[in-house]
Structure 1
Amino acid sequence: MDQVRIGIVGLGSMGTQHGKYLAGGEIRGAIIAAVCDMREERLQWAKQSWGEHIHTFTTLEAMIDSGEVDAVFVATPHYDHPDAAIRSLQKGMHVLIEKPAGVYTKQVRLMNEAAKKSGKVFSIMYNQRTNPLYQKLKELISSGELGEVRRTNWIITNWYRSQSYYDSAGWRATWAGEGGGVLINQDPHQLDLWQWTIGMMPARIRAFCYFGKHRNIEVEDEVTAYVEYPNGATGLFVTTTGEAPGTNRFEIAGDRGKIVIEDDQLTFWRLRVPESEFNRTYTGGFGSPECWKCEIPIHGNHPGHRGITQNFVDAILKGTELIAPGEEGILGLTLSNAMLLSTWTDSWIDLPLDEDLFYEQLQDRIRGSRFTKQAAPDQLLNTEGTH
């Protein structure tokens, strides 16, 4: 194979964005060969916009059975990601899914098992992993430059969303339609980067989620979570869609200093000697280790969505290592599931997560929902998969 024929399932906002750069020839070794959507008007729009050669289908089965595609790009609403991926993998398709991996880990684990059995390339659109800032952070931690991680704090409150945003589609911010709020919609990238950059998952989580605190919605729009790691480190994750102006500050303290990412800058407060060594040898009473403020240079561009898609295609054609293996989507989702479950049960949640309990609790909220809203008809088009 010297060219990957990609079929996109779901022509909402994200599916359309991905289709545009594929149709524009921006991904080496790939073409957009087909699109799949239940809405005939979106299929016709795709042919008119991207070329009459585009094959159109109203069902995923028809597309993956057509012989016209080698890989499927899943850009459907959240609940459908695992099912679409599983069906595509079982038919021999390579698969790239939009984030999140799904709504609940029990469903995503089945998807991961299907991917393993298929032997096909499976990736997830964690495009923030291509950001040089977070790549440098991961490098500094994994190389030992920061020393053992002792504390992580991420305040990510610049996800401001107005009531009109939530009213733009009937499925938004509902348990049945979206499966959650800020954690499942806005924060999947940060939850992924949180564990990816430091190289470990928490051992347990205690979270406080607030549902419809700032907006007329039934899902979480403000969260404060405290975590404990296997090595004794602690962490804090604070997020909301109801705060303006917001903050995006990620702080990691280690034995050799502290790293902060804020305002697209990475700053390393580097200790001349490790804190543990200073504490063991210093005899002067009051005092602290000598510290150097280092502005770490960041090189390279941030290819974002295109970077993950190009990497996916290169993995198919050349065997290139994936930046964001699809199987890793379950990690960030585990964190968000655990935060919700901690709130629902008013308790600490140990990891690995009790997946059956989370699923049962989620279904209880879907069945018990009395929440209704009416989206304006002209706002319903082209909303699936938007953030």
Structure 2
Amino acid sequence: MTQRLRVGIIGAGGIASDAHIPNYLKCGDKVELIAIADVVKEKALQVAQKFHIPHAFSNYEKMLQEMELDAVSICTPNKFHAPAAVAALEAGCHVLCEKPPAMTASEAERMARIAKQTGKILTYGFHYRHSPQVEALKRFIDANELGEIYSARAQALRRRGIPGWGVFTNKELQGGGALIDVGVHMLDTALYLMGYPEPAIVLGSTYQKIGTRKGVGLFGEWDWKNFSVEDLAQGMIRFKNGATLLLEAAFAANIEQHEMMQVSLMGDQGGADVFPLKIYQEKYETLIDITPSYLPKQGYHEVEIARFVDSCLTGTPPLSTPKQGTILQHIIEAFYQSAETGEAVKISLNEY
């Protein structure tokens, strides 16, 4: 591989044009954007023209066949993550796949297996990991300032934040709603800070109470007549090490705040809230709260893309790994299964 990463984009929607492409361009001479593919050729051409990308395709298989690429970003609806990732890996490309990893745990396992077989990097777009708050807290955790983390809570809640664009409310294309779209961000953040423990049991419930009727849309007017996903998900994960995680995700819920993205941790030596960062401890017979007076300003996506590029060029492992992606996908799948059956679901991870 040359020291200039030749990148292709699969999917020309908002996450590609707003996050991936602009931040690849910020990498300067390290990156050359070669091509973009989208099933709507006009959209691919429009984005290609806007960002001066020389080639546009309506078929990513053709792009992978005709272009000499080192890496791709997958920015499609969830249904197409796995097939696009597998095709790119088998074509010899490193892959940055937007969250969630896939639609099912078996798909995520296949993606991980192909990445291992090809020796290519496969990582996922969990950009909150790259926030200064998470990075700072991870240093405290690694220094054992929180001790054994035995309880956590992850919340991704919106008052009326149903997306009024894209296919986010289409279960066939996305696999679900609030949980698989925004809940995965805080779920991954919590799991990452907990050391990605192996899950044992998941008990979850989902609700569709607001999305199927017309209402105030803070993210634009949504297609309430064809709303086929959950607008609220709540549940608990118990891990094999005895720790527990409470999870809440909502596109629309009757709460005070317009949006809440939060991870809270409790350890035997300290606890923390992440957004904004605050650490709680008992030291020298005193209960203390620790808040940083300064954290660097950094764009989460900008850091994510820069690190992916460096991983591809240097061979350093990515922050988000295929194994973690399979664990997270197993949890999501078990959560939806539990919500459907009304029973707790046991998780058994497979080797790949």
For Structure 1 versus Structure 2, the TM-score category normalised by the shorter chain is 0.7 to 0.9
Whole-angstrom distance in 1 between the partners of 2:61 and 2:261: 41
Q: Is 1:272–2:272 an aligned residue pair?
A: no
Q: Residue 175 of structure 1: CA displacement?
A: 2.5
How many residues align structurally?
332
* 1:346 corresponds to: 342
Note if 1:235 corresponds to 2:232.
no
- Structure 1 residue identity aligned to 2:131: N
Q: Closer, same or farther in 2 for the Cα pair 1:331/1:139, shift >3 Å?
A: farther
The one-letter code sitting in structure 2 at the alignment partner of 1:222 is L
Q: Deviations over 1:178-197 (max 9, x none)?
A: 21010111222111111111
User: C-alpha separation between the residues in 2 aligned to 1:138 and 1:27?
Assistant: 29
Q: Distance in 2 between matches of 1:88 and 1:342?
A: 33
Alpha-carbon distance change, 133 to 59 in structure 1, aligned in 2, over 3 angstroms: same
Asked if the contact 1:202/1:228 (under 8 Å) is kept, the reply is: yes
Structure 2 CA distance for aligned equivalents of residues 174 and 66 of structure 1: 32
Tell me if 1:82 matches 2:93. Answer: no
Do residues 219 (structure 1) and 229 (structure 2) align?
yes
Q: Which residue of 1 aligns with 2:215?
A: none
Q: What's the counterpart of residue 11 of structure 2?
A: 10
TM-score by length of 2: 0.86
Partner of 1:68: 68
Distance 1:122 1:150, change over 3 A: closer
Between the aligned residues of both structures, percent identity stands at 24
CA drift at 1:25: 4.3
* CA drift at 1:38: 2.2
The answer to whether 1:203 aligns with 2:203 is: no
Give 3-state SS (helix, strand or coil) of 1:140's partner. helix
Q: CA deviation at 1:28?
A: 4.9
How big is the shift at 1:124?
1.4
- RMSD between superposed Cα atoms in Å: 2.3
Q: Distance in 1 between matches of 2:109 and 2:312?
A: 23
Deviations 1:242-268 (A, max 9, x none): 12433334221111132123xx32222
Superposed displacement of residue 235, structure 1: 2.6
Q: What is the CA-CA distance between 1:20 and the residue it aligns to?
A: 4.0
Which range moved further: 87-96 or 62-71? 62-71
2:158 aligned counterpart, secondary structure: coil
Quick check: 1:48 aligned with 2:49? yes
SS at match of 1:177: helix
In structure 2, C-alpha distance between the alignment counterparts of 1:10 and 1:353, rounded to whole Å: 30
Amino acid at match of 1:33: I
- The 1:50–1:267 alpha-carbon spacing in structure 2 relative to 1, beyond 3 Å, is closer
Tell me what 1:364 maps to. Answer: none
Equivalence for 1:324? 320
Q: Is 241-250 or 88-97 further displaced after alignment?
A: 241-250
> What's the secondary structure of 2:150's corresponding residue?
strand
- Per the TM alignment, residue 230 of structure 1 is displaced from its structure 2 partner at its CA by 2.7
Contact 1:96 1:124 (8 Å CA) reproduced: yes
Deviation at 1:37, TM superposition (A): 1.5
Partner of 2:136: 136
Shift, 1:82, TM fit? 0.9
CA deviations 1:303-352 (Å, max 9, x no partner) are 31121211111112122331223442223222221211111121111222
> Letter of the aligned partner of 1:226 in structure 2?
M
Instruction: Encode CA deviations 1:154-208: one digit per residue, 9 max, x unaligned.
Output: 333136324xx35x45x44232122101011122211111111111243212112
Letter of the structure 1 residue corresponding to residue 149 of structure 2: V
Structure 2: runs of 5+ lacking an equivalent: 213-226
Cα distance in 1 between the residues matched to 2:58 and 2:293: 48
Counterpart pick for 1:292 among 288, 293, 296: 288
Q: Is the 8 A contact 1:308 1:324 kept in 2?
A: no
Distance 1:116 1:298 in 2: 40
- Flag the structure with larger Rg: 1
SS of structure 2 residue aligned to 1:220: coil
Which residue in the other structure is 1:254 paired with? Answer: 267
**CA spacing shift, 1:346–1:306, aligned 2, 3 Å:** same
**Larger mean Cα displacement after TM superposition, 17-26 or 212-221:** 17-26
- Whether 1:154 aligns to 2:164 is no
Preserved CA contact (<8 Å) 2:7 2:69? yes
* CA gap 1:153/1:47 in 2 versus in 1, 3 angstroms: closer
Aligned-partner SS, 1:44: helix
| Matched letter for residue 205 of structure 1 | V
- Checking the alignment, whether the CA contact within 8 Å between 2:94 and 2:120 is kept in structure 1 is yes
Separation of aligned partners in 2, 1:293 and 1:37: 49
Q: 2: CA distance between counterparts of 1:228 and 1:11?
A: 38
Could you tell me how far 1:353 is from its partner in structure 2? 6.0
Indicate if the aligned counterparts of 1:203 and 1:228 stay in contact, CA closer than 8 A: yes
Partner of residue 217, structure 2: none
Q: Normalising to structure 1: TM-score of the pair?
A: 0.79
Output the amino acid matched with 2:122: F
**Distance between the aligned counterparts of 1:68 and 1:194, measured in 2?**
38
Task: Extract unaligned runs of 5+ from structure 1.
Answer: 274-288, 355-387
Indicate how the Cα distance of structure 1 residues 251 and 110 shifts in structure 2: closer, same or farther if over 3 A, else same.
same
- Cα 1:94–1:353 change in 2 (3 A) is closer
Matched letter for residue 257 of structure 1: G
Q: Could you tell me which amino acid in structure 1 is paired with residue 202 of structure 2?
A: I
**Residues 1:300 and 1:176: Cα distance change in structure 2 (over 3 Å):** same
